[in-house]
Amino acid sequence: MKRLHGVIRSYAWGSHTVLAELTGRPSPSDRPEAELWLGAHPADPAHVDDAVSGVSLLDVISADPLGQLGAANAERFRGRLPFLLKVLAADEPLSLQAHPNAVQAREGFERENASGVPLDSPARNYKDDNHKPELVVALTKFEALAGFRDVRRTVALLRALGVAELNRCAEQLEAQTNSSGIRALFTQWITGDRHPATLIGGVVEGCRRYLSTMSDGADGEFAAEAQTALELGSRYPNDPGVLISLLLNRITLEPGEGLFLAAGNLHAYLRGAAVEIMANSDNVLRGGLTPKHVDVPELLNVLDFRPAPMPVLGADGVDPDLRRLYRTPEAEFELTRLKLDTSRDDGSSSAATLAAGDPRIVLCTAGSTVLSSQCDSLELSAGQSAWLPASNPAVTLAPAQQRAQVFVARSAPSDVDSPRRQGDCAHMHSTNLDN
């Protein structure tokens, strides 16, 4: 096992405090820090400690894919680490965006390569040939827009705001209540039909009026949606993303709750800190709420317009206070949160054993933990992480002091009947639930 050093990315929507405090650096930071990357993506690979200096995790894996990934994973994922782990820190809303599926990513990457678009060009959509489903797990209260809302609920919201043009849009949706109706209205708004700048102003005023009625005791059924549109309108007064926000599920995650976003899911994270895991990709198609490159035609090509609620992933396991496994349908990643404690209510202490054979990234987000194997040991404090290659012996995680919160990232099992479906699990003392 080796200590892993991630790469911090600075974007305007990032926080001056969250990542600085998590990693024990001076706070506030000089620049807004948005993401801590922990993985082997070519754009920003993490580094591992060796006897002399840090070496790129990408280079470590490329030099020994069988030893680092294991034979099965090396074959299954073409010699690449299949997942990318991040810590996300958002003080302001991210762009309205979606990510491609595997076929779209491969074709888009080849197309932009053939067109001569440089990989580092701001106009580049496809930075690699991989799809990008993702899972976000809240560290703090985390707010987001994600997926298209049930049409009946959207119609009720549009009517509740008391804007004449929105009433006409509601009628349009009522006449076509499936994904085709959502696609038609979305396209109309995002491409600028029906004078969206004027409509945006009307929507902002409608949201302001709606929120003002709450002080008079009126029902605030859509208060969160109205407040979000109002805030987005103040930041991006002429951006059609303000309108699009009215079509999306408004979600609040409490710490420990998760949200899975499949390829094609339109979303915008609004604020909060979270651990995020995804397929190893940096492909983003943006549609608004950003000064960055926007490509509406390509976004329309990848979006999934099916309306549906976005289920929040909560407890999954025999002891959810100790361990949570966040299940998704994706092969590339699986995330487990472990809460390790030296003094549980029943008088026992908790530990987790990770079996050999799988590559993992272990991230400590609170307290400190000791990773121990028959060969060596490593202590991680909050904000620190470790790389465990497939060739590493079994590792036991225990709290270094009283408590620790740890996230363990790995690929999902290929066999649905495999004992690995139980995930990386915390256990009392030396018991091993990994197999």
Closest CA to 131 of 110, 102, 88, 159: 102
Distance between CA atoms of residues 324 and 33, nearest Å: 27
97 is in an annotated binding site: yes
Distance between CA atoms of residues 382 and 385, nearest Å: 8
Kindly provide the b/e burial profile for residues 176-207, where b requires at least 16 CB atoms within 10 angstroms of the residue's own CB: eeebebbbebbebbbeeeeebeebbebbbebb
134 is in an annotated binding site: yes
**Which residues contact residue 217 at a Cβ distance below 8 angstroms, ignoring those fewer than 6 apart?**
none
Distance between CA atoms of residues 57 and 11, nearest Å: 24
Active site (catalytic) residues = 286
Residue 145, SS3 per DSSP? strand
- Cis status, amide bond into 28, omega within 30 of 0: yes
5 is in an annotated binding site: no
267 is in an annotated binding site: yes
Beta-strand (E) ranges in 321-394? 323-326, 334-341, 350-354, 360-372, 377-381, 385-388
* Annotated binding-site residue numbers for Zn(2+): 97, 99, 134, 267
